[in-house]
Structure 1
Amino acid sequence: MDTEPSAVRAAREIRVVFGRLRRRLRELARAEDLTPSQISVLTRLDKSGPAGASGLAAAERVRPQSMAATLAVLEQHALISRRPDPSDGRRQVVSLTAEGVARVQGDRLARQEWLARELDQGFTEEERETIVRAMGLLDRLNDR
């Protein structure tokens, strides 16, 4: 089965536009003191809840040693806490502290406010509705 040229062009455009938008949104986060991988771990903990270090390493596709270093920095910033796993005392469960939750939510709110302001000021109502419809179509990719 040959892929239609329009599908190839759409795939390329989606990748490029989403990549640029993602970089722009990352710039808006208060990330001056954290690396992208540290921010990713905070975001994962916020979305998925407490997790073990090995599970986080697997989910982030990094070596356990790299995850240990990431968690050490986050713990130094008081953004995470660790406690013994109730089912296996040799392991630890990592969770966000109140400060970690506030950090993730604050960064998320800053990005959302910027995006809403840009959409409000730079696009017509019709264009914003087109964007919403396009997002619905793109979301179907997640369902396949």
Structure 2
Amino acid sequence: MFPPERTTVSVPAPTSGEFEDTTFESAVGEVEHQFSVMLAAARRSVKTAAVAVHPALQPLGFTVLMTLHRGGECQQGSVAEALQVDKALLSRTVSQLEALGLVVRRTDPSDGRVQLLDLTAEGRARFEGAHTAKRTRLRERLGNWTPAELRNLSDLLHKLNERG
């Protein structure tokens, strides 16, 4: 057997835009990686907060509590839509929250087909306790940041979310 022929391929010299594109792609890749790390940490944080409310509470249950805490009483369908979860899954989660005494579900007097959800006093107290601990952990992580760095982060996140 003869060795394969070697051919020389001429590659055009990159333009300055190609170098910038490589740098851009590298930077976007790092942003994607950091988002993955941040999302994993956020999931752990919600799971920890859920367990702080009640050992049997799943993360979705904590997210439902947070939604009700922020918005007050609202329709169950609106919560499902806001959280982008299946209505049947939300219904099972709400049943668990009711059984734990954290949420009350009642029929909407203006439309008997609609269920309204709200926090019980116990649900509000437990959520606020867990949420306070969660916020304390965030403040500890950001404790060494300057106000200018925090504003910059907030501005950049706002800019990213604005285009969502």
Q: Distance in 2 between matches of 1:30 and 1:75?
A: 15
> Where does structure 1 lack aligned partners over 5 or more consecutive residues?
none
Counterpart residue type for residue 121 of structure 2: A
When residues 62 and 115 of structure 1 are mapped into structure 2, their CA distance, relative to the original with a 3 A threshold, is closer
* Aligned residue pairs, count: 139
User: 2:28 corresponds to which residue?
Assistant: 8
Which is worse superposed, 52-61 or 78-87? Answer: 52-61
The percentage of aligned residue pairs carrying the same residue is 34
Q: Does the aligned pair in 2 maintain the 1:81–1:97 contact within 8 Å?
A: yes
Runs of 4+ in 1 over 3 A off after TM superposition: none
Q: CA deviation at 1:135?
A: 2.7
How far is the alpha carbon of 1:101 from its aligned partner? 1.4
Q: Which residue number corresponds to residue 159 of structure 2?
A: 140
**If the length of structure 2 is used for normalisation, what is the TM-score?**
0.70
**Partner amino acid for 1:72?**
S
Q: Does 1:63 align with 2:86?
A: yes
Q: Which runs of 5+ in 2 are unaligned?
A: 1-20
Choose 1 or 2 for highest CA Rg.
2
2:6 corresponding residue in structure 1: none
- The structure whose RCO (Cα within 8 Å, separation 6+) is larger is 1
Task: Tell me which protein shows more helix as a share of its residues.
Answer: 1
1:130 and 1:55 map into 2 onto residues whose CA distance is 36
1:18 partner letter: M
